[in-house]
Amino acid sequence: MKILVDVTHPAHAHFFFQPISIWRSRGHDVVVTSRRKEVATDLLDKFSIEHRVLSSHPGKRGLWGLMKEMLARDHSLKAVVTKERPDIMVAVGGVNISHVRLATGCPAIVFYDTENARLSNAITYPFASRVVVPRCYSAWLPPWNLRYPGYHELSYLHPNHFQPSRDKALSCGLSDDGETFFIRTVSWQASHDVSEHGWSIDLLARLVDFFSARGKVIISSEADLPAEFRPYLYTGPPGDIHHLMAFCRLYIGESATMASESAVLGVPAIYAALTGRGYTDEQERRYGLVKNVQIISSEEIIGAAEELLSLSPEEYRRRRQRLLDETIDVASFAADLVECYPDIAVLKERYGLA
């Protein structure tokens, strides 16, 4: 079987790393296409995954820039599919593979978890062969959807595939004699971010002051920050950041993905942004591992932090275990799903799908 994997974001490189390994161990041929977006191609290189770069993120050129890139990428991806003739295509988000399916007839399986990406979902879901989402997904889906108990982050952070190393965490900046707080800011340049805006510099400064008085602060940022924040910036290898996150006392940030990563690692998280996510909502409601803050102020975020910090790390480890007991190994599920397509009966029995 020949499988084409389209990777357009760093998180997608993480998501597909284990499924690609599984497919190749079972004798399948895997072709990977990529996009220059933050460290996406760097991660593929670190994972020793050969890939073909088809486009680059347009940066600050807004919706028009994203549309131009989409059309150019559709054309480039169609050329790859025509040449390689894969049996199936897979992607997270999947705008391009769904369009190329129309032109080539090659089946396209789309994994996604972001409800507020309304525009990209509207030009993707109707054309995909199957749309696969976590059980907590709360927006419109086509009838050919499939829900599973889990989160994207369990494709690469499930204990079947990831065991955090304290030594790696220390080499990435973890405090060896106190608590470490991890802050993430984003650039708001993705297609689902068109109407969003991020934290102010004043807000970030207030949070750094608050958490610096309680331990070490490490900041990961998509955008350039003023010089005053440079002493706090994460400088470790991109591929080792989850080792650091696993030993932090608290995550605070604008990235829902990193909030969910922290939650599945057993680290309490604050997701502070104007729009929510079904998965962070479930991680708050069902497991108490996330606080979703949609009033973006230092008072609201610090209040949420004080609430989360009132419980011990041992309590969050217990909550994480409950999460793991009620979810699946998403990497194995994704690998089996592609192999079984279009038959999903065996998957429903194997993974307890509704």
Q: Which of 235, 239, 240, 234 is nearest to 253 (CA)?
A: 234
What contacts 19, CB < 8 A, 6 or more positions away?
5, 90, 155, 331, 334, 335, 338
> Rounded to whole angstroms, what are the CA distances from 103 to 68, 77, 222?
18, 11, 35
pTM: 0.92
In terms of Cβ atoms closer than 10 Å to its own Cβ (0-12, 13-18, 19+), residue 240 is middle
Question: What is the rounded distance in angstroms from the CA atom of residue 144 to the CA atom of residue 58?
Answer: 32
What contacts 67, CB < 8 A, 6 or more positions away?
none
Domains within the chain, CATH numbers bracketed: 2-158+329-351 (3.40.50.2000), 166-325 (3.40.50.2000)
Question: What is the rounded distance in angstroms from the CA atom of residue 133 to the CA atom of residue 148?
Answer: 7
Question: What is the rounded distance in angstroms from the CA atom of residue 25 to the CA atom of residue 29?
Answer: 10
Q: Are 272 and 295 in contact (CB under 8 A)?
A: no
DSSP codes, 20-46? HHHHHHTT-EEEEEEEESTTHHHHHHH
Burial 280-300 (b: 16+ CB within 10 A, else e): bbbbbeebbbbbbbeebebee
Q: Are 177 and 213 in contact (CB under 8 A)?
A: no
Please, what are the averages of pLDDT over each run of 10 residues along the chain (354 residues)? Answer: 96 97 98 92 95 88 86 96 98 97 98 94 97 97 97 98 98 97 78 57 96 98 92 94 98 97 98 95 98 97 98 98 98 97 90 84
Residue in this structure with the two tokens 């004043």, named with its chain if needed: 202
What contacts 177, CB < 8 A, 6 or more positions away?
none
Q: Which of 178, 176, 182 is nearest to 232 (CA)?
A: 182
Direct distance between the N- and C-terminal alpha carbons of the chain, in angstroms, rounded to an integer: 28
Question: What is the rounded distance in angstroms from the CA atom of residue 109 to the CA atom of residue 92?
Answer: 9
